[in-house]
Amino acid sequence: MTIRLDEMDRKILAQLQRDASQSLDDIAREVGSSKTPVWNRIRKMREAGIVGQQTVILDAEALGFEACFFVLIRTSEHEAEWQNRFLHALRARPEVQEAHRLAGDIDYILKVRVKNARAYDAFYQALISEVKIHNVTALLSMEEIKSTTMLPL
Amino acid sequence: MTIRLDEMDRKILAQLQRDASQSLDDIAREVGSSKTPVWNRIRKMREAGIVGQQTVILDAEALGFEACFFVLIRTSEHEAEWQNRFLHALRARPEVQEAHRLAGDIDYILKVRVKNARAYDAFYQALISEVKIHNVTALLSMEEIKSTTMLPL
DNA sequence: GCTGAAAGATGGAGCCT
DNA sequence: AGGCTCCATCTTTCAGC
């Protein structure tokens, strides 16, 4: 399942991250190889799950998603069943763009993107009615300074 | 610059988000239209900047990026010049995947992805040597419950 | 604004070295 | 493993409705 990646694989991944719409020929030229080997390496990395979803980055503001919150959550419940319900609730809600379980004093952090503050409140009310949460702090983003999915290969 | 988007545009965007490698024919079939009109709409939305970068999502863990931190930053400095240096420092550092300026008590939040805790410390030391920061809290992610760039259109 | 056609480019597969 | 060639498919353009 785990593949050993060499320098060439990493160069190819960097190109795909940068612009996944490039043709195989373009990528091959950039990394100093040719079509077939590049194509085979990409196929292998896809099969191994290293290369996942191909997507486009949309302009959230232009589409009316003008509010972004980071939500810090503390809970008193730590049973498996509660956690399961909480996880499924998060995964089911499309406004939750990120959710992490944390080490330490704060238990979870969410990144929630919504149209406006009212939509955030609707999300918040829906969430706390589904699962019991001890303490919630919402941090409102004023400005997105940087946002990327690129890994520094 | 701002385009009015109709239901058809939104359906096309949803398809592109879901899988940007689909052929025009496939997208057209999914949204109930045909090739040329879909192509024209995508071109317009690209030109308007609504549709941005086309990329692939890579498996961070498989590539050795095993640590993810959310960093809460408080600063005492609020002058334009300090802010400028801070912003440029963040944009220049590839381990910073997200950076937001916040409303309220905490001034900034970062999402930082690195190979391990030691690499986080190197990042942290480099950052505070570049710009003066009053207070930093790092939240370590134990588990990525959800991560998506998809907007709920 | 849609349809259909057509030209050129590309992906994907096989084969040769 | 890398390179060459081929064909089916796809992208992109354009004339006509």
pLDDT tens, position by position, B93-136: 999 999 999 999 999 999 999 999 999 999 999 999 999 999 99
Average pLDDT, chain B: 96
**How many angstroms separate the CA atoms of A56 and A20, rounded?**
9
Which of B108, B113, B147 lies nearest to residue A151, judging by beta carbons? B113
Are B55 and B126 a contacting pair, CB within 8 Å? Answer: no
- Which residues partner with B72 through β-bridges? B109, B137
**How many angstroms separate the CA atoms of B57 and B144, rounded?**
14
Are B82 and B130 a contacting pair, CB within 8 Å? Answer: no
Q: Which helix (H) or strand (E) holds B142?
A: strand B135-147
Residue of B nearest to A50 (CA): B59
Q: How far is the CA of A67 from the C1' of D2 (A)?
A: 51
**How many angstroms separate the CA atoms of A119 and A95, rounded?**
9
- The confidence band for A96, taking pLDDT boundaries of 50, 70 and 90, is very high
Within B19-108, residue ranges assigned H as helices are 24-31, 35-47, 80-92
pLDDT for B20-40, tens place per residue? 999 999 999 999 999 999 999
Average pLDDT, chain A: 96
- The confidence band for B1, taking pLDDT boundaries of 50, 70 and 90, is low
How much is the pLDDT for A101? 97
Contact across the interface for B21 and A54, Cβ inside 8 Å: yes
A139 token code pair: 């941090």
Q: What average pLDDT does range B56-80 have in this prediction?
A: 95
Q: What average pLDDT does range A31-42 have in this prediction?
A: 97
Nucleotide nearest to B23 (CA to C1'): D10
Contact across the interface for B55 and A19, Cβ inside 8 Å: yes
Candidate from A113-122, B6-15, B74-83 with smallest mean pLDDT? B74-83
**How many angstroms separate the CA atoms of B131 and B83, rounded?**
9
Which of B52, B109, B145 lies nearest to residue A57, judging by beta carbons? B52
A34 token code pair: 């040719």
Q: Calculate how close chain A gets to B27, using CA atoms only, in Å.
A: 13
Length of chain A equals: 153
How much is the pLDDT for B144? 98
**How many angstroms separate the CA atoms of B41 and B45, rounded?**
6
- The confidence band for B2, taking pLDDT boundaries of 50, 70 and 90, is confident
Q: Is the pTM of this model over 0.75?
A: yes
Domain B7-47 is in which class?
A: mainly alpha
Q: Is pLDDT at B62 greater than 80 in this prediction?
A: yes
Of A87, A145, A95, A133, which is closest to residue A117 (Cα–Cα)?
A95
How much is the pLDDT for A1? 59
Every domain range in chain A assigned CATH 3.30.70.920: 67-140
Q: Calculate how close chain A gets to B115, using CA atoms only, in Å.
A: 10
**How many angstroms separate the CA atoms of A61 and A67, rounded?**
8
- Residue in the structure block whose two tokens are 């992610």: B141
Every domain range in chain B assigned CATH 1.10.10.10: 7-47
How much is the pLDDT for A77? 81
Q: What average pLDDT does range B77-82 have in this prediction?
A: 89
Q: Angle at Cα B100 formed by Cα B94 and Cα B106, nearest 5°?
A: 120
Domain A67-140 is in which class?
A: alpha beta
pLDDT for A37-79, tens place per residue? 999 999 999 999 999 999 999 999 999 999 999 999 999 888 9
Contact across the interface for B149 and A149, Cβ inside 8 Å: yes
Of A103, A121, A104, A107, which is closest to residue A72 (Cα–Cα)?
A107
Are A20 and B54 a contacting pair, CB within 8 Å? Answer: yes
**How many angstroms separate the CA atoms of A72 and B104, rounded?**
14
Backbone φ and ψ of A144, nearest 5°: -85, 105
How much is the pLDDT for A149? 98
Cβ of B34 near strand D (distance < 7 A)? no
Q: Coil, strand or helix: which one is A107?
A: coil
Of A135, A123, A137, which is closest to residue A65 (Cα–Cα)?
A123
How much is the pLDDT for A2? 77
